[in-house]
Amino acid sequence: VSRVIPVETFDLVIFGGTGDLARRKILPGLFRRFRSGQMPVGSRIIGAARSEMDTAAYRSMIAEAVAEFGGDEKNDTKSLDAFVAALDYVAIDAKGDGGWVELAGLVRSDVVQAFYFSVAPSLFGDLAERLHTHKIANAQSRIVVEKPFGRDLETARALNKTLAAHFDESQIYRIDHYLGKETVQNLMAVRFGNMLFEPLWNNHYVDHIQITVAETVGVGGRGGYYDKSGAMRDMVQNHLMQLLCLIAMEPPNQYGPDEVRDEKLKVIRALQPVAPHHIVRGQYDAGPDGPSYREDAENPRSFTESFIAMKCEIANWRWAGVPFYLRTGKRMKARSSEITVYFKDLGHTIFEGDVARHRNILSIRLQPNEGMDLQVTIKEPGPGGMRLIDVPLDMTFADALGPDAEEVPDAYERLIMDVIRGNQTLFMRGDEVEAAWGWTDPLINGWEARNDVPKHYEAGSAGPEDALAMLHRDGRKWRELK
């Protein structure tokens, strides 16, 4: 029985349809949705980009991209042929008039229209404007915008204003692909669909929470861009803060787009300024597998951080006194994204041994192996008396779903289908993005004014010593990266 929920017939225009993101993620994802039967017959995908090429050439480009970046489904050549037959291509200039009349001729007004802005943000305004001057978009059209959404509060506000001049907020889908991950949605299911967790989800029972997004790759290849942004702008302001909001928010009264986003916004507003000694910025040195950050960024004097660890506080009734430790970095020991909730220890034990040794830990893994595990304390099996051990109750989605696991859509494909459905729950609202920059700006300005020099860390390590020390001082330690 297919669990795929059909969507309405659509025309999806991908501006930047020849770009890296389109070829690596968007189109291979759409192919998987096509194969699963979710893309209705008659729907069209229109690539629109700068290169001059015809539709036949575009179709082969995308077939090759699927073959390169797709999973096992790429071997289904029959489906792939049918999929690329639903593709068109228009060579277009976002900054000029070339291609727009042709695009207007291709996009139908009687189906769901979505325009994916997979181009540099400096072109968002041009695209929004020309979609109107050429009378392509209407009051029902949706636009999808990629990150980065500004580089500070001022630029984000300007971008919001530009988009708002042409589209209503209900038409704008600001993508953060972390929100499309199965586990992230499951986080809400676990919190708000069980009796077990929510009653404990507060400062009476939670000791602290850690959010880690560790990557093993460096910035090589995109060093020029990255060097102007750094881990705070590239990862914390969007992905980590979104995860923080979902883990910390109050229960919305229902699972609706504005209900969820209102609650997330309140979390951001309750975030306290972070003292400089609660921020550790790092930059990787050369290691056995590759060059240093400065070589990757081609900037021998760079002070940009490729790692950041912070201790954050949410000043509200639920979370007062519970630290949220955030950490993210490039070229770290392991690729691992995880949210971990450390519950308090019991305070008193009737068994022998150290009461503080055993505690419940709920960890929510975004990658690899999306899933959750809950550490619980049980009696060590066997005749050895009442000895306690901690064991994980493991729920890896791939195991839980069995052979259906491959049906779990990847973040991009799920989010694109949400756009077609008109569901904004997993997209960032304009005020949320601005509030997030409003919190990060003073922190960034602070270290810039102090001429803060990032701490060194060895490539392939767990980050700078100071980041470890920050938790040590609090009598805690980072979850091991593995």
Sheet holding 142-145, edge to edge: 87-91, 44-49, 10-15, 112-117, 142-145, 172-174
CB 372 within 8 A of CB 183: yes
Residue with tokens 């999806």: 12
Which of 67, 85, 120, 320: binder of ligand NAD (CB under 6 A)? 120
Contact between 94 and ligand NAD by CB under 6 A: the answer reads: yes
Binding mask 131-170 for ligand NAD (x = CB under 6 A): ---------------xxx----------------------
Which of 119-127, 238-246, 294-302, 407-415 is the region at the interface with ligand NAD (rule: CB under 6 A)?
119-127
Q: Token pair of 361, please?
A: 């830990």
Instruction: Go through 25-46 and write b for each residue having 16 or more CB atoms within 10 A of its CB, e for each that does not.
Output: bbbbbbbbbbbbebbeeebbbb
| Helix count and strand count (H, E) for the chain | 17, 15
Distance CA 163, CA 156 (A): 11
Q: Token pair of 39, please?
A: 């893309």
Distance CA 47, CA 30 (A): 13
Contact between 93 and ligand NAD by CB under 6 A: the answer reads: yes
Q: How many residues bind ligand NAD (CB under 6 A)?
A: 23
Which of 13, 49, 209, 274: binder of ligand NAD (CB under 6 A)? 49
Q: What is the DSSP string of 7-64?
A: ---EEEEEETTTSHHIIIIIHHHHHHHHHTT-S-TT-EEEEEESS---HHHHHHHHHH
Contact between 95 and ligand NAD by CB under 6 A: the answer reads: yes
Distance CA 50, CA 33 (A): 26
20 is in an annotated binding site: yes
Report 392-431 residues binding ligand NAD (CB under 6 A): none
Name the amino acid, one letter, at 284: Y
468 is in an annotated binding site: no
47 is in an annotated binding site: no
CA neighbor of 245 nearest in space, from 440, 432, 443, 471: 432
Which of 19, 218, 230, 371: binder of ligand NAD (CB under 6 A)? 19
User: Nearer to ligand NAD by C-beta: 98 or 291?
Assistant: 98
User: Nearer to ligand NAD by C-beta: 17 or 252?
Assistant: 17
Report 231-260 residues binding ligand NAD (CB under 6 A): none
User: Nearer to ligand NAD by C-beta: 123 or 270?
Assistant: 123
Is 239 catalytic? The answer is yes
Which of 51, 155, 186, 425: binder of ligand NAD (CB under 6 A)? 51
Which of 40, 121, 257, 422: binder of ligand NAD (CB under 6 A)? 121
User: Nearer to ligand NAD by C-beta: 225 or 445?
Assistant: 225
421 is in an annotated binding site: no
Instruction: List contacts with ligand NAD (CB under 6 A).
Output: 15-22, 49-51, 92-95, 118-121, 123, 146-148
Cite the active site residues. Answer: 239
